[in-house]
Amino acid sequence: MAEVNVVKQPKQERTAAEMERWFATPLFRDTFFGMNPFAFLRNFTEMEKAFGPLPKTTANGGWIPAIEVKEKDGKLCVTAELPGLKKEEVKVHIDENTLVLEGERKQEKEEKREGYYHSERSYGQFYRSILLPAGAKIDQAAAQFNNGVLEVTVPIPEAKATRQDIPVQEGAKKAAA
């Protein structure tokens, strides 16, 4: 490891003008203590637009992949976005009438240059469960993983239309007292 020389300097007192300038950073666009909290949150929204959304995580370090569930051509189609994962890191199974998607990602990045070393590690498990409709043909279920996108299809029986329109009537007007 490279040696670093640390030099301790005497503490310098800041003037009131310097402190005010420090608290009035472009991030806040107002003084720190007198700022509008909604404007403060809006700055983070603008940062998210610039850098992309933050990954969703759970309290125990897991993550929540985005999924889409839809019915198409007599099949229930579940699409899960699992960027950076391999097919071997994903498990798909059906417990009774529930489709379960689970897995774990382990990402490690290491960058070495002259006088510079950077290392990052990211671990997280995910578990998603989707209730299947009654009569789903679980023995014909299929899963396909391609470029970080998992697609699971399960044939389901055609749903009978049970829609009933209810006429809306106008209520009687009350006389003014």
Among residues of the chain, what percentage have pLDDT more than 70? 65
In tens, the pLDDT along 98-125 reads 999 999 888 788 888 888 888 888 778 8
| Partners of 105 in the β-ladder | 124
The residue assigned the tokens 């290491």 is 110
Name the DSSP class of 61: S
| Residues 95 and 39 both lie in one domain | no
| Residues 35 and 86 both lie in one domain | no
pLDDT at 175: 65
| Residues 100 and 138 both lie in one domain | yes
* Gap between the Cα atoms of 177 and 162, Å rounded: 45
Contacts of 128 (CB under 8 A, 6+ apart): 64, 65, 67, 80, 100, 101, 102
| Residues 29 and 75 both lie in one domain | no
Domain count, the chain: 2
| Residues 80 and 32 both lie in one domain | no
| Helical segments of 93-156, H only | none
Range of the domain at 75: 67-155
In tens, the pLDDT along 41-71 reads 666 666 555 555 555 555 555 678 889 999 9
| Residue 137 counted as domain residue | yes
| Residue 75 counted as domain residue | yes
| Residues 130 and 71 both lie in one domain | yes
Q: How far, CA to CA in Å, does 90 sit from each of 61, 63, 86, 103, 159?
A: 17, 14, 7, 5, 30
| Residues 45 and 100 both lie in one domain | no
CB–CB of 101/128 below 8 Å? yes
pLDDT at 160: 73
| Residue 6 counted as domain residue | no
- How sure is the predictor about 1, in pLDDT bands with cuts at 50, 70 and 90? very low
| Residues 111 and 138 both lie in one domain | yes
| Residues 71 and 41 both lie in one domain | no
| Residue 9 counted as domain residue | no
pTM here? 0.54
| Residue 149 counted as domain residue | yes
Q: Is the pLDDT of residue 27 over 90?
A: no
| Residues 40 and 116 both lie in one domain | no
| Residues 92 and 128 both lie in one domain | yes
Q: How much is the average pLDDT of 84-88?
A: 87
| Residues 97 and 27 both lie in one domain | no
| Residue 1 counted as domain residue | no
For position 107, which CATH number holds? 2.60.40.790
| Most confident of the ranges 48-62, 136-150, 162-176 | 136-150
